[in-house]
């Protein structure tokens, strides 16, 4: 029986996708809602930041997989949560997969913009995305079909704008200082870290040279961008399982 795999979603949405969890043995994959999202959407924004997400995740992992170490798969901002988790609870982590996870503020341009917005503007922006999910997908380079539209609608409904802003502010606060890079180096030195990216979006992912050299593996998903799990789900899962040696 393989070790559990825990998926950590990004700034918007969820990774509770049936084809993803079904790719692993029953009960051995977890894609939880972070604070402020889905089942946790009533958590007030003042209680939401990246350290709080790490502790929330630790409680869930211990509840579902008591005494076990897990593989962490973090997408985008979820990659930041994964890295911070490994710094705080390293004994519970077997390996990490950074799916275009933020390495610095260069990878958090939208978070920085969102963090500065007046609350009313952020709400209006999210309402606009919800009104036209096909356009939101198009901006991410994803073709709109019945499957992707259904997922986009769910993702956009998953959280209020206040959650997005609370998370964005925490991303800016924690990834800007040099000590964030220092923490990343410690994670790479103590755990296998795999880098997974979409072929179309890889050029915009600011992975420092030291991380490329220290990575356990690097994989590009062909014909995909930042939302590769929507565009090329079989290829994404195949690459993920190969990185984790679960194929």
Domains of the chain: 5-243 (3.40.50.1820)
Give the residue, 121 or 22, on which the prediction is more confident: 121
Contact 151, 134 (CB under 8 A): no
Query: Does pLDDT of 104 surpass 90?
Result: no
pLDDT of residue 154: 96
Mean pLDDT, the chain, integer = 94
Encode pLDDT of 41-98 as tens digits: 999 999 999 999 999 999 999 999 999 999 999 999 999 999 999 999 999 999 999 9
Indicate if the pLDDT at residue 22 is higher than 90.
no
Mean pLDDT over 184-191 rounds to 97
pLDDT of residue 75: 97
pTM: predicted TM-score of the whole model, two decimal places: 0.96
Residues 6+ away with beta carbon under 8 Å from 235 = 221, 222, 224, 228
d(Cα 130, Cα 118) in Å, to the nearest integer? 19
91: Cβ contacts below 8 Å, ≥ 6 apart: 69
Q: How many helices (H) and strands (E) does the chain have?
A: 12, 6
The pLDDT of 157-183, averaged and rounded, is 95
Q: Which residue has the higher pLDDT, 104 or 13?
A: 13
Name the E strands within 93-180. 93-99
Q: Report the run of H or E that residue 189 belongs to, with start and end.
A: helix 178-190
Q: What whole-number distance in Å separates Cα of residue 215 and Cα of residue 95?
A: 11
pLDDT of residue 107: 81
pLDDT-derived band at 245, boundaries 50, 70, 90: confident
């Amino acid at each position: 029986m393989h070790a559990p795999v825990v998926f950590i979603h990004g700034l918007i949405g969820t990774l509770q996708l049936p084809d993803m969890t079904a790719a692993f043995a029953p009960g051995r994959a977890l894609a939880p809602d972070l604070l402020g999202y889905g089942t946790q959407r009533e958590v007030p924004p003042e209680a939401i930041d990246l350290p709080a997400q790490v502790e929330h995740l630790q409680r869930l992992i211990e509840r579902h997989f008591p005494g076990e170490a897990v593989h962490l798969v973090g997408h985008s901002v979820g990659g930041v949560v994964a890295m911070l988790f490994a710094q705080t609870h390293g004994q519970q982590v077997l390996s990490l997969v950074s799916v275009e996870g933020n390495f610095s503020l260069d990878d958090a341009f939208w978070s920085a913009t969102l963090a500065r917005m007046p609350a009313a503007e952020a709400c209006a922006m999210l309402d606009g995305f919800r009104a036209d999910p096909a356009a939101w997908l198009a901006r991410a380079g994803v073709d709109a079909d019945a499957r992707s539209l259904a997922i986009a609608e769910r993702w956009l409904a998953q959280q209020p704008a206040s959650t997005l802003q609370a998370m964005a502010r925490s991303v800016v606060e924690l990834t800007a200082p040099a000590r964030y890079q220092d923490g990343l180096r410690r994670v790479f030195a103590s755990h296998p870290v795999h880098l997974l990216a979409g072929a179309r979006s890889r050029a915009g992912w600011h992975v420092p040279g030291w991380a490329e050299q220290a990575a356990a593996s690097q994989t590009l998903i062909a014909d995909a961008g930042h939302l590769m799990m929507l565009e090329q789900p079989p290829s994404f899962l195949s690459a993920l399982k190969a990185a984790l040696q679960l194929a």
